[in-house]
């Protein structure tokens, strides 16, 4: 009985540690995006951010990729989808790189996963006659972290 109780307490402690780390990671991402939106005089679109975890730099530590949208820059009706990478460290996530991955009149992007050190996205690009609201050409793309920069490495339509 005492062994079972000890194991339960150990499992609970590990779970609480994991939840606390996830909350800290979330705060890092929230803070970074809020600061960027403020610099751009825009705001993050509600409910569209997606974050996936995996090992981007092949160091055995989980990293995070976030796809989020900032809109209304300077009062405009523009929007840009950004892909940002946060590398995992012993102290939590650390912002490392960011680049536009989609946006108005560019393409729509959907973050899917991190596999084999690459960030995988589904895309919908604009055809020659597509209006700004409605891209139609489905595809996929991948991004790799090269040093401290993101590089698109596999755009397929």
CA nearest neighbour of 24 among 77, 85, 86, 84: 86
How far, in Å, are 32, 81, 95, 105, 107 from residue 135 at the CA level?
Answer: 29, 15, 31, 8, 7
CA nearest neighbour of 125 among 70, 60, 75, 81: 81
94-149 pLDDT, tens digit each: 999 999 999 999 999 999 999 999 999 999 999 999 998 899 999 999 999 999 99
| pTM, full prediction | 0.84
CA nearest neighbour of 21 among 72, 90, 71: 90
CA distance 12 to 124: 43
62-107 pLDDT, tens digit each: 999 999 999 999 999 999 999 999 999 888 999 999 999 999 999 9
CA distance 131 to 135: 7
Secondary element (H or E) of residue 114: strand 107-115
- 85 and 117 Cβ atoms separated by less than 8 Å: no
């Amino acid at each position: 009985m005492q062994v079972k109780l000890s194991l339960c307490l150990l499992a609970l402690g590990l779970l609480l540690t994991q939840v606390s780390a996830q909350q800290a990671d979330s705060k890092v991402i929230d803070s970074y995006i809020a600061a960027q939106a403020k610099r751009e005089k825009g705001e993050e679109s509600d409910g569209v951010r997606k974050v996936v975890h995996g090992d981007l730099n092949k160091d055995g530590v989980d990293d995070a990729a976030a796809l989020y949208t900032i809109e209304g820059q300077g009062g405009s009706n523009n929007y840009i989808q950004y892909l940002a990478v946060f590398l995992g460290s012993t102290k939590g996530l650390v912002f490392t790189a960011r680049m536009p991955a989609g946006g108005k009149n560019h393409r729509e992007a959907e973050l899917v996963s991190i596999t084999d050190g690459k960030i995988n996205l589904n895309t919908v690009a604009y055809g020659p006659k597509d209006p700004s609201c409605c891209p139609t050409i489905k595809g996929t793309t991948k991004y790799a972290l090269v040093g401290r920069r993101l590089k698109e490495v596999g755009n397929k339509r």
